[in-house]
């Protein structure tokens, strides 16, 4: 981040917050975000577009299209490899997922820079209906500001965090 850039953090609007929380709850991502981790990259950018009314469709369709039609993923960043391993255990906790009728499958849909988990509804193992999560395990940052310094493009400098049960959008100004 340039020295004159600051990070702004603000809660998502009520309806968008509720929608994101419902998606994240089903696949244990809320517990991951409580574990010194955050979402950054493409999914956070899509959510930011929805927050600031820059999306082309209503926010439900915009997010569903990103996840399902375009097979986008949710990138998780954290402070250490140990923390990423802990997050992977949280994500794949069989008992939590079973309550939500979700199955988690570790996959190699990306590259050597992440651990990858794909989530399916137990009644539908259709790839077009799964949610992909990447736990970035080769690059670690002590905070979002440090993470943003590694991003090449300003339009990617968005992150989602969880604070007191609300999703927070973080971005540079």
- Give 139-156 pLDDT, tens digit per residue: 888 888 888 787 655 556
- What local confidence, expressed as pLDDT, does residue 13 receive? 97
Beta bridge partners of 39: 76, 160
* Whole-number pLDDT of residue 130: 84
**pTM here?**
0.86
Distance (Å, rounded) from C-alpha 30 to C-alpha 142? 19
pLDDT per residue as tens digits for the range 59-102: 999 999 999 889 899 999 999 999 999 999 998 886 777 777 77
How many Å apart are CA 65 and CA 128, to the nearest integer? 10
What is the model's pLDDT at position 38?
Answer: 96
Which tokens in the block code for residue 161?
A: 């965090």
3-state SS assignment for residue 33: helix
For residue range 10-32, list pLDDT tens digits in order: 999 999 999 999 999 988 999 99
Per-residue pLDDT at 150: 72
And the tokens for 158?
A: 């968005």
Tell me: pLDDT of 1 over 70.
no
Average pLDDT estimate for 154-169: 89
Query: What are the CA-CA distances from residue 167 to residues 65, 109, 145, 148, 154 (Å)?
Result: 20, 27, 18, 18, 21
Average pLDDT, the chain: 85
**pLDDT confidence bin for 2, thresholds 50/70/90:** very low
Task: Tell which wins on pLDDT, 158 or 149.
Answer: 158
Say how many residues make up the chain: 173
* pLDDT of 83: 93
């Amino acid at each position: 981040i340039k020295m004159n850039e600051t990070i702004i953090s603000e809660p998502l609007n009520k309806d968008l917050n509720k929608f994101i929380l419902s998606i994240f709850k089903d696949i244990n991502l809320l517990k991951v975000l409580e574990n010194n981790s955050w979402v950054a990259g493409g999914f956070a950018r899509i959510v930011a577009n929805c927050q600031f009314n820059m999306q082309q469709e209503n926010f439900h369709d915009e997010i569903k299209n990103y996840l399902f039609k375009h097979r986008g993923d949710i990138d998780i960043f954290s402070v250490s490899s140990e923390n990423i391993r802990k997050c992977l255990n949280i994500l794949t906790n069989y008992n939590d997922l079973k309550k939500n009728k979700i199955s988690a499958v570790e996959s190699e849909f990306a590259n050597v820079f992440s651990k990858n988990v794909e989530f399916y509804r137990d009644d539908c193992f259709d790839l077009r209906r799964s949610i992909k999560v990447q736990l970035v395990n080769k690059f670690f940052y002590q905070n979002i500001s440090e993470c943003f310094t590694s991003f090449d493009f300003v339009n990617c400098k968005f992150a989602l965090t969880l604070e007191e049960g609300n999703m927070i959008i973080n971005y540079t100004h």
